[in-house]
Amino acid sequence: MQPVEDQIYVIIFATLFLGGLMSSFVIAMVFIHRQRQVQNRQKLDQIKSEHEKTLLNIENEIQQETLSYVGRELHDNIGQLLSLAKLYLGSSKPEKQSEGKETINQVISEVRALSKNLNLDWVESLTIVEFIEQQLEKIESTGYCKTKVAYEFELGDFPKDQKLVLIRVIQEVLNNAMKHASPDLISINVKRFGSDRVIEIKDNGKGFDTSLESDGSGMFNLKKRMETIGGDFSITSSVGNGTLIHLMLPN
Amino acid sequence: MDSRFSQIYLEPYFILINLLLIIGLIFFFRLNKDERTNIYYWLPFLILTFTVVYEDFAGYLVYNYELNKWVNEILGNEKNPNYNVWFYNFANKYIATALYLFLIKTWLEPAKKKYITWMIFFYFFVILFLTGTGIEPVYLGQPIIFAIGANMILVGSGLYFIGLISNEKYLESNPLRLLSFWQMTFILFTYSLTYISSVSVTYLYSVNKQLGMSLFQIDWVMGVLNLSILVLTIASPKLPGIFEKEPYYAAS
């Protein structure tokens, strides 16, 4: 074979080789795409089912708390009012009887208010800002500690599933602060860090070592919950220096 | 009609590409104003029009020997005044390659677009350096410039395919129904199949002109296929249900 002929063959085979290589590359890419598409769908389904599970757990927790609250109210408030009404209505004095009727009316309105708490419709009508203010008011009314709230921007409303998670996480963070930190002041700031919207919850209580595992599991749950709605959770604390929590809100 | 003129322009390649330009023009001007000003449609239309116009003009340079000779003389080529390589270098190697890089850029996810911009700058720097220093005269085949341009196109295609298998938006779509996938596949094939023949074109013409011409027909076939995909891209709003919306349509 002549050297020129050899070179021509090399050119032809190199061209065919490159063509074959590119065909294999494109076909491989399509196959990899299909595989990843299936994996991605499975991952999305898993995330979706985890999200649904988290929401269900949160709804159950809120309902449990509501039932305990209703039970307490029935025993401590409505039960007392009904006993009082029975006493008034049993009296022969007309003014006592009218007081008894007024007490019955009070019981009716208390029962109406309680019944509203039994389903989760209140979540729809309540904004996160209103919820925060309600919770801080409750803490102040018990005389446990002082509270402060500040907003850098209008928080707006959230879809029901996001609101449920946020309500539960805020409630849990505030409960933890009251249960473990014994603070003089709890403050909530709604602020922006760059493009991130953040709810900052701060207390000046005992603080704790965040590296200790026993303290970390509850925080891990809160972080996971925030992640299911596309947000994030971070905590900064050390013994004697209070606790700072950032709830990064979903966009 | 002059027989040489008709011999050049009645080649199946010229007839096909001019027909594609007419179809492209019809579909482009049937798009609404918003679509016409969207890079997703006007860039393929620009490449289609530019390619057909430069191919027609290159044919005209073969027909008009005097004009070709005059330009070759200005560029310093007195040995082969019938070569229209200088024009192919400008139109095909420099501008068309850059336009294809811009087209690839429109298909990429936003974070990867900057790589293409750097490549285009680097490519023009290389062209200026190699032609300015006379390493690759503008009136002869420029294998180094072609190889660098082709490699950039191949890297751009690689970036697209990496996005295709890793980006969530691409993973939600069916690649066989994405025009960008077919466009990238044909660009990849065009540049890889013509890589060897284009780099060795001067050698092939000197030892076996017939084989050189045959290998060049691959370029023509791939050229027609590429232009057909460009026409399909322009016509895609009028062909609902066939193709899926591109994931980076809004971002581009």
One digit per residue, the tens of pLDDT, for chain A of length 251 reads 565 677 777 777 888 888 888 899 999 999 999 999 999 999 989 988 988 888 888 888 888 888 887 888 888 888 888 998 998 888 888 888 888 899 999 899 888 878 877 767 777 788 899 989 988 998 888 888 899 999 988 888 888 888 888 988 998 899 888 888 889 999 999 998 888 899 999 999 988 887 776 555 678 888 888 888 889 999 998 888 899 999 999 87
8 Å CB contact between A181 and A203 = yes
Own/partner pairs for A84-91, CB < 8 Å, 24+ apart?
none
Shortest CB distance from A33 goes to which of B165, B196, B207?
B165
Q: CA angle A146-A149-A152, nearest 5°?
A: 160
Q: Does B200 touch chain A (CB under 8 A)?
A: yes
Q: What is the pLDDT of residue A60?
A: 85
Give the CATH H-level superfamily of domain A120-251: Histidine kinase-like ATPase, C-terminal domain (3.30.565.10)
- A200 contact partners, CB below 8 Å, separation of at least 6: A188, A189, A190, A191, A244, A245, A246, A247
> Does an H or E element contain A131, and which?
helix A128-142
Whole-angstrom distance, CA of residue A145 vs CA of residue B92? 77
Shortest CB distance from A18 goes to which of B185, B195, B204?
B195
Residue B200 to residue A11, Cβ atoms within 8 A: yes
Whole-angstrom distance, CA of residue B219 vs CA of residue B198? 9
Nearest CA in chain B to A40: B171
Q: Return the number of CB contacts < 8 Å for A and B.
A: 59
Residue B170 to chain A, least CA–CA distance (Å): 9
Interface test with A, best of B196, B197, B215, B222 (most A CBs within 10 A): B196
Q: What is the pLDDT of residue B127?
A: 94
Residues of chain A with CATH 3.30.565.10: 120-251
Whole-angstrom distance, CA of residue B187 vs CA of residue B53? 19
Shortest CB distance from A36 goes to which of B171, B189, B197?
B171
8 Å CB contact between A234 and A248 = yes
Q: Does B189 touch chain A (CB under 8 A)?
A: yes
What global pTM score does this model have? 0.69
Residue A202, beta-bridge partner list = A187, A244
Residue A65 to chain B, least CA–CA distance (Å): 39
Residue B164 to residue A29, Cβ atoms within 8 A: yes
User: Pick from B54, B165, B45, B41: which is nearest to B106 by CA?
Assistant: B41
A3 CB neighbours in chain B (<8 A) are: none
Whole-angstrom distance, CA of residue A75 vs CA of residue A77? 6
Residue A25 to residue B168, Cβ atoms within 8 A: no
* Chain position carrying tokens 């890297």: B155
Ordered per-residue pLDDT tens for chain B, 252 residues? 577 778 888 888 899 999 999 999 999 999 999 899 999 999 999 999 999 999 999 988 888 888 888 888 888 888 878 788 899 899 999 999 999 999 999 999 888 999 999 999 999 999 999 999 989 888 888 889 999 999 999 999 999 999 999 988 888 889 999 999 999 999 998 888 887 777 777 677 777 777 777 777 888 888 999 999 999 999 998 888 888 888 865 444
In angstroms, what CA-CA distances link A18 with A12, A25, A32, B192?
10, 10, 21, 6
Bridge pairing between strands A243-248 and A196-203: antiparallel
* Chain position carrying tokens 């690839």: B104
Q: Does B2 touch chain A (CB under 8 A)?
A: no
Q: What is the pLDDT of residue B1?
A: 58
